[in-house]
Every structure is written in C-alpha cells, then in structure tokens.
Structure 1
C-alpha cells in the first residue's frame, strides 16, 4: 500500500490503496465503532454518562454511535442508490472522511478524558480499546477512498488515487452543488421545514447537555458534521432552497426558534437562549455598520449600554435618580432614541476618518462611556447612575397585564420568566431582522456595499459617503439601544462592567465584532449563528474559563485560514477569498459579449 500525499499545486501522487480495500476498511471500522458503543468503555461510574453498561450506549457513546451511523449512511449513498443521491450532490468521499474524523475525534477525546480523569489506562474496558482501533481504521480507509469527480482538482477524473489531505484542507471550503432534477415546490418547502426542525433539535440537545465533557464531544462531531455536509454540497443546496423561498425560510426559522422554550422544563437553559437572542440582535446591528458599510467600530457595545441605562432610568427602578416609570413601549423608544442621539453625536465628527483611525476613535468612545457611567456616582460627578453599583432592581415588564417576571402556562406548557423574555426578545429580533433585510436590499444598502468595497470609487459615482456612513452608524446604534432596553429588564441590574471592550462574559465589543466576522459579514443569518456559538460555547465550557481567550484566538486563526468568508458567506465573499478560476476558464453559461463573471442567471 502507498499513502496519498498532496502537493502544493493540488495534485496527488498515486497511493497503492485500492478503492475496494479503502471502502472495506472504512466499512469495517465504522461498523466496529458502532458495535463498540454497545460494550462497556470503563468499569466505574465515576466518569459522567455511565459508560459501564454493556447492551446499550450512554453518554458520549451516543455521540460516537451517531457519527458511525452518519458515516455508514454516506458510505451507502456512495454506491449511487437512487433516491439517496440528493444527500450528496457534490460526492461522498469528502463527507465520509470528515464524519470518520469527527467520530475518531469524539471517541479518542472520550477515552483520553477517562484516562486523565480516572488516573490511567487501567480504567478502560475492552469496548474502549475496540472503539479506538475501529475509528482509526475507518479514518485510514476514508483517506484512501477514490475522489469524486465533482471535487477532483486534477485534469482527468480517472486519474488514480484520491487527494486525501487536499480534501482535509477543504474541510470548510464551499463546494458548488451539481445540477439535479428540481424537486416539486411542496418537497422544497418540506425540506426547509425538516432542516430547521433538525437545527432546533441539535441546538436543544447541545444546550441541554448535562456536563461539559458531553458538550465538547457533541461540539467535535457537530463541527465535522458541518464540514461533511458542506463537502457533500448539501449546505449549498439547502441555501439555494432558502434563497428561493426566502419568506418561508424566515417564517420556518422563527417558528423553530419560538418552539425552543416549550422544549424546556425550567429556566436553567432558557436563560441562555434569551441572552443569545440579545447578543445576536446587537450583532445584527453591528453588521449594518461593519458588514454593510465597512466601518470598523470597536466601541459598539457602548450603544447597547446607552439603551440599557436609559431604559433602567425610566422603568421605575427604586434606585433610579429620575424617579419615573414609563410603560415598556415608552421605555423602549427612550432607549432606542438615546442610542440614536449618541450615534449621531459620535458619528458626525468622527466618520470623516477611515480605517484604523476610525477604529481607535470608536474604541475610545466605548471606554469613555464606561468610565463616565462609573463617575456619575454623586461624588466624582452628578448622581445619575450610582457609579459602580449601577441601577439595580429594574422591575419586571408588564404588557397588557402579562407579567414577564412570573411563571405562566402557554398552550399547556409551563414557561418561566426567562422563557417569557426569550419570546419577547424573539419578537425584537424579528423586527431587527426585518429592518436589516429591508435596508440591505434597498438602494441605500447597495450604496453602503459600494462604500465598503471602495469609498473613493463610490464617491466618484455620486454617492454621498459621509451622509450614508452616518446613517449606517445611527441605524446600528438604534438597533443596539433597542436590544439594550430588553437586556435591562432581563438582567434586572445595569452596571458599567457589562459594557467593556473585552471581558470574560459577552456581550462586549470584541465578542460582537467576532460574532459578525465568524458568522459572515453582510449576511442575515451569519451574525446570529456567530453570536449563538460565541455565547453558548463559553457558557457550557465554564471549566475552560482560564483558557477561554486562548482557545477563542486559536479558533479565529483556524477560521481565517480555512474559511475567511465566515460560516455563512454570500457569493461576493466566496469569490473574494477563494480561487475559482473564473478569470482563466470562462463559464459555458456566460453570455456572449458579457463581462467576466456575469452568467445567464445573473444577467
């Protein structure tokens, strides 16, 4: 046997691992890993999840079992069974490799955790050794699978040997789907509904994990699973469906999100969901500034603080220096208006700057806001914000007699206070999504994108750059202030420490900016996904708090290396960050006489 290695030019010298042998090894390893989950991995219940039972899997064994089942499914799809090929329009060798790697990573992490936590390899039972060996065999076999013609970079699709490590480097690279027979409209809508239903289940399972080891195993398999689906072309196909039925996809997304509180028995994890929505809404507002207009704002969290402080001062808190009690709709308008005013006041004198200079000024504004809130304590300044004590005891919301601070039964399901605020925040998020979508698709949104790409060229074409940048800055600040009004009531206390540039607990400016970049700048769903990941992962992996920033930095480095356009990227970013060969090999769909990059569909 020979091992395939990939050179820098994308070619791969032949490996003497026949396709038949590679498939056999992959199947043997995958089935062996599946069987090993029904055998005890350790003899003691000291390790969480009870991996001592023979006969049925538990804990992290379920994650390994899921990875083995998915790998088997894509192995079967690779044989071209009619009706299943829709799951892998771009081929199956890449998905099999990534799923095998995900199963290997989860299994070996579990065995390593048992060894370290319990004090040695003596704590492993035969099932653990079988799982380690079979998952490794599956990966070796997957590395030798023949390359699919859809993803083969070589001139001849019949060239021997798969570019195994080339596929590994393409783990998060976008793969265009193959042409396929279109589905009926009802089937497309059903596929969208099923996709969001699966997304709700995965999110609920991840947030409900009882211990950090289980969540980390879930995270490993989910990450490789995303890479597998992307390599299979299924993500691109689902994206095309959601683009075609945009309104239905948005409705399905919000229906799935609204169902989350009804899957919870208490507020333990519903609170995490409420804070994720607050974080995601603020990230969408920042996406207007950074993603659409291209303005690097490092002090954006201050606008969230302005809205929160304004709402706390007028919402009837006994510690408020104003002593007024507005209804919620008036408090929300007050917070949004205060952030709008600050956005205009800060943006008007500073938005004539560009690049690093603008970033430094906005960073200074964020620190000035935090320090000002500390000094308005009645000693070093007027008594407005109570200094470091903040404004505590913000009363719960009451809208049309509905008290958000009490337990309620909705449709027969008990919903706690955080569940109530989650549903309210979901409505706010829906409004922000509507504003962002309408703004991005408008003439002003296209002007923002033009300024982001080249402000000088945009100005030469007659665009008033300063006015439109100020409009983006003001809109982003208003959306942040809107979210801040709800945050003040959810947290019940507003303090200056909540609004820093960087800190251990989001939201802060660094995490907000990272959420936009991680999810995908200028996209609608990207910042929401990025915010959910950046809030959920630290909340579930609190035992790694001391290394949180280190791991966060490593994750960003890997993301910038393998997928610089973000997890959710538009067509423009994909063309910008990945070589597509469009300038070298014209597309056969290109219209005669049209410029480079214009296809029939685009025309």
Structure 2
C-alpha cells in the first residue's frame, strides 16, 4: 500500500510547502462537478444509439438498451460518477473511496474517455466517416471529454522540484525535464492512506468476498466470450483502467485484506467460482480456451516455485511440460506410440510427473551450483536440447521414440472410472462438452498444485527458498544447504509441470516439438511462462494464475493483428512493468522493494498471499 504524500513531504528546494497543482486550470469545485456530471452523462449516453446501421459489430443502433462497447463505457461512466459523488462525502458512498476519490476519478474518467473515443473512431473508420454517427455518439464523445477535463483539474500536491545540473548535456537536460513531468503525473495519481476499515461481522466479510469472486467470474467470462475484435480491445482498456481506478480508490487493497483474513475460504470459493465457468458457456470453444488457460496457469505456478520462491532464473521450463506430455502420450495407447502401452489415466499421469521430476534432478544436479545469468543460459540450453532431441528421435537421425517432427498423434481421450472425458454429458440439465470435462479435470490438478505450493511455501524448506532468493551467501552462512534446497525446488517445479503436461497431451490429441519452444506466438512457452510469473506477481498464488490467464487470453484474441500481435503484446508488457513493477498481485516483500514509501507490515505474511 502506497502512502499519500503530504505537503510536508513534497517541499520545494527552499523547504516551503509545495503549491497545490492541477493538470488543467479549472477551479476545484467546478472540476469536481464537471467530472461527476460528465460521468453521469456518459452513463446516460449509453442508452442512445451511437450509429445508424448494424454494420458495425455489436449493434449500437438501439435506443434504451446498451450493446457491445456501450456496456464498457457505461461501467466506467458509472464509476466516474460514483467516485465523484463519494468525493462530496455523500452518505452511503463514503465506503467507495477509503484511499481518496481524486486519483480514482482521474483513472475512471480517462478509461471512459479512451474507450468511448476508441469506439467513435472505430465506427468512423469502419463505416466511412463521422457522418455515420448518431447523436448518441457525439454525446458520449463530449461527455467523456468533459469528465476527463474535470478529473484532470482536481488538485494534488506537486512533488518538490529537483534543480538541474547546469553542467549537464542537452540529453541529460531532456531526461531531467521528462523525469520532472513524470513525477508530476505520478503525484496526480498518488494513492492516499486507507481509512480505517469498518468493523464487519465474519459472515458479511465472507459475503463481500463471494460477491467479488462472482464479479470476477463475470468479467472473465465476458472477456473470453467477446465476439469481435473491437469489443475485446475495448474490454482490455476498460478492465485495465477499471482495475486501476478501484485500486487507487482503496477497494482492491481493502478486498486483499479481507481475502488474507479468510484465505482458506477465499481459496475454496475461488475454485467453486471457476467450476461454475463451464455452466456459463454455450459454446465448447470457449471452454477450450478455459482449459488451456488452466494448463498454462498450473505450469506457471510450478515455475513460480523455481523463480518466485527460490529465485532461480529458469529459461527452459517449458521443456518439463514437454517431458510430461511426451511420457504420458507414449503410454496412453496412441497408435503412433512405439511402446504399444495403454495405461489407465492415473498411471499415465504419474508416469508424466515422475519423468519430469527425473529430468529435473538430472538437469539440476550438475547445473544448480551456478548462479544468475549462468544458470539462465544453461536452462535455456536444456530447453533447446529437449526440443532438438525429440525432433531427431524419429528412427532416422536417432532411435524411433517420438516420431520426430510428426510427434505422437491420435492420443485417445481419458476414461476415469468409466467416465469418458471425450463425450458430452448432461449435468444438472446442462450439456457439458469434451473441453468442459477436461476443464473440471484440470481444475482438480490446479487445486493439487495450489495445495502443494501453499504447503511447501509455508514450510521450513519454503523459508529456506526465500532465504536463498534474498541472499544466498547469507543463507549459506546460516547453515542452509543451498544446493540441496535448490535441487528440491527444481525437482518439485518440474514435477508439477509434468503433471500438467500429462493432461495437455490428451486435451490436444497430439504432442509435437514445436509446442515446446522458448518463444513463439502461441503459449505456453518459456518466455510467456516467465512473463506470467513476473507480471502476475512472483511468490504469490493468485498472481501467476492471473498473469497466465491474461497472457494466454490476449494472444489468442489478438490473432487478427497478424505480424503486429507480438509488438502490441510487448508494448502492453512494458507499460505494466513500468506502472506496476511488483506485479499485478504483489507479494508484500516485493512491494516493499519497489516502493520505498510503502508501509511495512509488522509481520510479513505467509507465502502465497
């Protein structure tokens, strides 16, 4: 939690109180009124037609009922208006802004402006000019602009000026000036201290957590089910600004405190909410995205043990996923498997996990005495060696084991206790298709991985991992066997990846070497896995799960961008890492590292917050 910067902290060079600043020169009372009224008008405009023809996706021609992108502007406009009313200390709305209203108003208004103007421009470009806009389109453009101007005119404390060195070169002067302007922008969005939380009974806190998880499920379902490209881009913009606004208002930190207080209940409720996902889908194609997200997230959580807890930079981790997938495929009755074995599910998944664990020990034993970049290079080499090996074991360049580039195909569907996961089934009146069946299986595997992560992270060896990560030399001096501790982390992470790989082989029907490269446009691969851990939040449980969900969903939905897909994806990652370097869901230790003004807790909580 970042603390609000007071005028005492933000002095000028002469130690006098810094003046109140504004990004736009409008008096504060008028600015607050403009932001609130603009947000309300943005909400109302969503019930008007924005274009006259349904040729633009989403049918924005209806009066009285929002559609498509209008829903996104409606939500952000409502947030802007509510935060504006809360800034007036309106009774019943004060709880919306426990950390202050002004930064939240700015972000909500900016999100509504970007989404609305993106929609208006998309309509004009797609249909051939602004003549295709109905009055509602002009109203929403003006309303969001008014709200944004009012929000940017709200007062904030300017940071103290850092005098420039007269001997600096022109480039140094430019960097200094840019840094001063960026400091002003950051001060405008600075979060204040959280107001004391109201005392609530335990059942009320649990109901709040349940409601938040239900909202999260709805947002996730909406993002997966976006039917056209413009809607998904608008969804990303709206979700990003909405999350940032709720964080600046203090609602996300307040919710984080509640979930930490009821961690076991929150974990169980999260899995119940995830289990409800297939019942919200009418198309098994979206359930396919869901099961692949779970596979990616489970592997990312295993990597989080190696990178997030033990601090070992592994750039070839996807190879352990491949070892598990190939091992399970070889013994699952595939007609292209040279072994001819057809083991039951429980045996196949154990074979995949054990094979990955063995490879983890074999690779880790000679290499884990290395540190930092040297270890990263070795693990990167292992990933490439694995891919080249399975490519060459085709009976021509080497022994006939993996069929080379053709891979192992026609892997049969799993049958567990007579339940065929490849066939649709009726559950509570809902037809559950093949991918939904595998979704439930993968959800069970994810639950096992989460349990292993929590228990190991909070154990004695988990504390040893954290000690190694923070300062290996000091940890060794305190009597920790660094090599053994790191080898256990490497083997455990590999085992969890093999577990997910065994399921992946049956979901995709086929395993090929191209699926397990260091970097390509389709996750999972080592680069995306590492990005999911770092972006989501190293050392936590929810962070890699959320990061993996985003990093799988975004490339899947951005395929229409073709060659520019990875470029846009990279820009998004740079922005996230620049604005929130500790990750979306940050471990409290990392928050203290990246934010010097963060409030240090009396006792650092358990791993997996």
Q: Is the 8 Å Cα contact of residues 88 and 234 (structure 1) preserved in structure 2? A: yes
**Structure 1 residue corresponding to 2:28, chosen from 19, 43, 54:** 19
Q: Against the structure 1 CA distance between its residues 153 and 568, is the aligned structure 2 distance closer, same or farther, given a 3 Å change threshold? A: farther
* Residue 605 (structure 2) pairs with residue 599 (structure 1): no
* Residue 516 in structure 1 maps to residue 533 in structure 2: yes
Change (3 A) 1:525 1:455: same
Contact 1:171–1:228 under 8 Å retained in 2: no
Q: Tell me which residue corresponds to 1:57.
A: 66
Change (3 A) 1:255 1:8: farther
Conserved in 2, the CA contact under 8 Å of 1:173 and 1:563? no
If the length of structure 2 is used for normalisation, what is the TM-score? 0.90
Native 8 Å contact 2:536 2:584 kept in 1: yes
2 CA distance for matches of 1:570 and 1:463? Answer: 23
Sort the Cα spacing of 1:174 and 1:13 in 2 relative to 1 into closer, same or farther, 3 A: closer
Match of 2:582 in 1: 565
- Asked if 2 retains the 8 angstrom alpha-carbon contact of 1:171 and 1:562, the reply is no
Task: Go from structure 1 to structure 2 and tell me whether the alpha carbon gap of 1:165 and 1:99 turns closer, same or farther (over 3 Å shift).
Answer: farther
Contact 1:144 1:164 in 2 (8 A): no
1:143 counterpart residue number = 152
Q: Quickly say closer, same or farther: Cα 1:14–1:101, change in 2 above 3 A.
A: closer
Choose which of 367, 371, 375 in structure 2 pairs with 1:358.
Answer: 375
Aligned to 1:553: 570
Deviations 1:482-522 (CA, angstroms, capped at 9, x unpaired): 00000000001010000000001100000000000010011
Change beyond 3 A, Cα 1:140–1:511: same
What does 1:402-441 align with in structure 2 at a 5 Å threshold?
Answer: 402-441=419-458
Q: Mind listing any 5+ residue stretches in structure 1 that lack a counterpart?
A: 1-5, 156-162, 583-596
Residues 1:119 and 2:128 aligned together = yes
Structure 1 position 350, deviation (Å) = 0.5
Structure 1 position 576, deviation (Å): 0.4
- Which residue of 303, 308, 312 corresponds with 1:286? 303
Range moving further from structure 2, 296-305 or 40-49: 40-49
CA distance in 1, matches of 2:518, 2:410: 25
Give 1:409 shift. 0.8
Residues 170, 352 of structure 1: alpha-carbon distance in 2 compared, 3 angstrom cutoff:
farther
- Summarize deviations over 1:86-124 as a string: whole Å, max 9, x none: 222111111111111111111011111112222222222
User: Aligned-pair distance for 1:452?
Assistant: 0.6
Aligned to 1:81: 90
Instruction: Choose from 110, 117, 120 the match for 2:119.
Output: 110
Q: Which of the residues 259, 275, 296 maps onto 1:258?
A: 275
Deviation larger for 80-89 or 92-101: 80-89
Name the residue aligned to 1:67: 76
Say if 1:213 and 1:357 are closer, same or farther in 2 by CA, change over 3 A: same
**Residues 1:179 and 1:274: Cα distance change in structure 2 (over 3 Å):** same
Change (3 A) 1:171 1:237: farther
Alpha carbons 1:366, 1:501 under 8 Å: kept = yes
**1:313 partnered with 2:330:** yes
Q: What's the CA shift string for 1:566-601, capped at 9, x where partnerless?
A: 00111111110012177xxxxxxxxxxxxxx67389
TM-score (norm: length of structure 1): 0.91
Cα 1:28–1:329 change in 2 (3 A) is same
RMSD: 2.3
Counterpart check, 1:452 vs 2:477:
no
How does 1:194-273 map onto structure 2 within 5 Å? 194-273=211-290
Find the residue that maps to 2:409 and give its secondary structure.
Answer: coil
- 1:3 matched to which residue of 2? none
**Structure 1 residues 187, 401: CA separation in 2 closer, same or farther (over 3 Å shift)?**
same
Residue 60 of structure 1 deviates from its aligned partner by: 1.1
Aligned equivalent of 2:349, options 300, 323, 332: 332
Q: Secondary structure at the match of 2:426?
A: strand
Matched residues, number: 572
Residue of structure 2 in register with 1:501 after alignment = 518
- State the distance in 1 between where 2:232 and 2:187 align: 25
The residue aligned with 1:541 is: 558
Alignment equivalent of 1:488, drawn from 492, 502, 505 = 505
Which residue among 87, 93, 99 is the counterpart of 2:102? Answer: 93
Q: Which 5+ residue runs of structure 2 have no aligned equivalent? A: 1-9, 161-179
Q: Give the direction of change, closer, same or farther, for the CA distance of 1:38–1:32 in structure 2 (3 Å limit).
A: same
Q: Which residue in the other structure is 1:590 paired with?
A: none
Moved more, 413-422 or 178-187: 178-187
Q: Which moved more, 1:44-53 or 1:97-106?
A: 44-53
Q: Give 1:129 shift.
A: 1.8
Q: 1:322 aligns with which of 339, 348, 369?
A: 339
Matched position secondary structure for 1:283: helix
Residues in 2 aligned to 1:107 and 1:209: alpha-carbon distance in whole angstroms: 17
